[in-house]
Structure 1
Amino acid sequence: MAAGLRVLAAAIGWFALALQYWLVMTGDIGPDPVNRTINFFSYFTITTNIIAAIAMTASVLAPGSFFDRPSVRTAIATYMIVVAITYHLILRDLWNPQGWNWVADMSLHYVTPALFALDWLLFVPKTAVPWRTALLALVYPLLYMGWTLWHGSWSGFYPYPFVDISQIGLEKALINAGGMTAAFLVLCLILIAVGRVFGLIGRTRTSAA
């Protein structure tokens, strides 16, 4: 069952990423193809979905790899849940996608995060994930934020309005970035705690049996 879910999640993930890239490259607005590509990979949603798709694929093709480590799966689950929550609460009302844009939008922001979270909940042995995972998990979003602010400073492109220095200023952007970092930390700690509760319940049932 785990393999089936992971194959499905990987297939949907890669399809959605390819579809979104095709839509970006064939659209009639925006910069040249090179800069469109750079901007495409500058979205946290895109890079996170790539990581998740790689993790799902690796679990099927190379079981026991780095991407099967419970701490790594927990970190990725954190990223994917943040993608879904941020989009739903902050970004979804900023545009009204239609047709294939809607398919890509729903897949990247809702379907793949839900499938990864479900896989983490059902199939990842998460009872012994160390608390320090929450701090280590911050490396990726911090690097992403550094790239976003640096890239935006010379290109003028900011993928999200809450970090758009040209519109809200550096101070507000940094405050928002700090808030997002705190959200990553808290959510990852919650997932680690949930995993430990699962372990406690499992041990209690074993003892009762």
Structure 2
Amino acid sequence: MRARTTFGALRLATAAVCLTALVHRLFWGLSSQTIAGRNFFAYLTVESNCALVVLLIIGGVLAFRSAEDPRWFSIALSLVLTWTITAGLAFALIVWQAGLRGIRVDVPWSDQVLHFWLPAFTAIAWTLTPGHRSVPWWIIPCSLAFPLVWGGVTMWRGPMIGWYPYYFLDLRQVSGFGEFAVTSALALAIFALVATVLAVISRVSPSRRKRVSRSAARAGTARAT
């Protein structure tokens, strides 16, 4: 239980760091006086990290109160981590491609935290957190629901305001519909791959094996008595 308490505190601390980074990124964007700054909540990264803050707070409380996470929490966390981790990978690719094209992309510390450090830390925690539950395979297709809905709203809204949160969604900034379709399909494939990896980890992680061993030991003791 001591390990659960420690990870509960880490969850709450991570939520505080994530919230701080979101607030800094909001005001940093507003200070730029651009349409991107005024559309802070249109980014998939921002929306998924807002959900992550809520889940980490809930997870911290759960860790203090029980030895295991309920299955619904593990499922919800796996979905949100799929979105935040994939958003981080996509952002890294965007920054890399922008550099190849000679386009300047400013990356404040809050962006680095949201796109790189938090996804890496939460991925490690997903493997090590005690009391974790395995998640069903159906999280893989379900993980695509949010990106698809978000993409549909973004493509509907983009022409009306003349702006898109990511350049590859804007047909004016790519070679045509073909590049848009290929890039979008690749992004969805990455979402599915990340969800698959998280599902596999939930079944083979050290914390999962320890929980199964304890359950088997308790069952053996019960039969012996």
Structure 2 residue corresponding to 1:120, chosen from 123, 126, 131: 126
Q: Is the 8 A contact 2:85 2:115 kept in 1?
A: no
Identity of aligned residues (%): 25
1:99-114 to structure 2, matched below 5 A, reads 102-114=108-120
CA RMSD, 1 decimal: 3.0
Match of 2:140 in 1: 134
Structure 2 residue corresponding to 1:167, chosen from 158, 163, 173: 173
1:1-209 to structure 2, matched below 5 A, reads 1-27=6-32, 29-31=33-35, 36-37=37-38, 39-61=39-61, 69-92=73-96, 93=99, 94-97=103-106, 102-123=108-129, 125-168=131-174, 169-198=176-205, 201-202=209-210
Alpha-carbon separation, structure 1, partners of 2:71 and 2:46:
18
Change (3 A) 1:102 1:179: same
Shift of 1:152: 1.1
Change (3 A) 1:95 1:10: farther
Partner of 1:130: helix, strand, or coil? coil
Change (3 A) 1:197 1:108: same
Moved more, 115-124 or 71-80: 115-124
Change (3 A) 1:156 1:58: same
Q: Is the 8 A contact 1:49 1:112 kept in 2?
A: no
Shift of 1:102: 2.0
Unaligned runs of 5+ in 2: 1-5, 218-225
TM-score norm. by structure 1 comes to: 0.81
Unaligned runs of 5+ in 1: none
TM-score norm. by structure 2 comes to: 0.76
